[in-house]
Amino acid sequence: MSEQECAYYRSLYEVVMCINSSLEPATVLHAIAEQGAKAVNAKACSIRLLDRQGKTLLAGTSHGLSKGYLRKGTVEVAKSRIDQETLSGKVVQIKDAGSDPMFQYPEAAREEGIASVMALPLTVDGRHIGVMRLYCSNIREFSQSEINFATAIANLSAMAIENARLHQALRTDYELLTAYEYTMHE
């Protein structure tokens, strides 16, 4: 087994352990972003989720990006070709985000030191609920093994997000039921 394959297994192990140890979405997503970036030697990773209307990608978490870059502006699906293609279910690579018209904020990418980007869909039950992006500071192409690993991490992210949503819905239902029963017996 190569050193890179060992790094993938270690990262996958860390992600799964975090998912199993916490129902707190912020904690789980941050661990996923950190491990995803480390495993493919990326500068940073972000996870964004679609809003209810499916028009905007909202910040979920990130690792390795500055606050200034995260505040660059709203990520509108209609203005971001990379996200349009990713949300159709494709893994998209951009060699140079600072000059590629698919990228919504090329100047912000140059200022942040971002060159190459890989974007992957977050998919649950056939629905695309968001996007995971891996950012590199150098111009490069991701290998097929990196794409396969990142796809596994993106799929785990989507499952963790869905589990957190279901847990929150159950908690809300339980609290409403408890409040109703408490009111009935007073």
- Residue 181 scores a pLDDT above 80: no
Confidence of residue 185 (pLDDT cuts 50, 70, 90): low
The pTM score is 0.85
pLDDT of residue 161: 85
Least confident among 18-27, 44-53, 55-64: 18-27
pLDDT surpassing 80 at residue 186: no
pLDDT tens-digit series, residues 26-37: 888 888 899 889
Q: What is the pLDDT of residue 106?
A: 92
Question: SS3 letters for the chain?
Answer: CCHHHHHHHHHHHHHHHHHHHCCCHHHHHHHHHHHHHHHCCCCEEEEEEECCCCCEEEEEEEECCCHHHHCCCCEEHHHCHHHHHHCCCCCEEECCCCCCCCCCCHHHHHHHCCCCEEEEEEEECCEEEEEEEEECCCCCCCCHHHHHHHHHHHHHHHHHHHHHHHHHHHHHHHHHHHHHHHHHCC
Residue pair 64/36 in contact (Cβ under 8 Å)? The answer is no
Residue 22 reports pLDDT greater than 80: no
pLDDT exceeds 70 at position 157: yes
Question: Could you tell me the fold of the domain covering 3-176?
Answer: Beta-Lactamase (3.30.450)
Tell how far CA 153 is from the center of its chain: 9
Please, which pLDDT band fits residue 7 given cuts at 50, 70 and 90? confident
Distant-in-sequence, close-in-space partners of 16: CB < 8 Å, separation ≥ 6: 156
Token pair of 33 as six digits: 């972003």
The residue ranking higher by pLDDT, 179 or 48, is: 48
Q: What pLDDT, on a 0 to 100 scale, did the predictor assign at position 88?
A: 96
Work out the average pLDDT over 43-69. Answer: 94
Answer with the residue of higher pLDDT: 139 or 162: 139
Q: pLDDT for 90-147, tens place per residue?
A: 999 999 999 999 988 999 999 999 999 999 999 999 999 999 999 999 999 999 999 9
What are the angstrom distances between the C-alpha of 9 and each of 6, 70, 128, 129, 143?
5, 29, 26, 26, 17
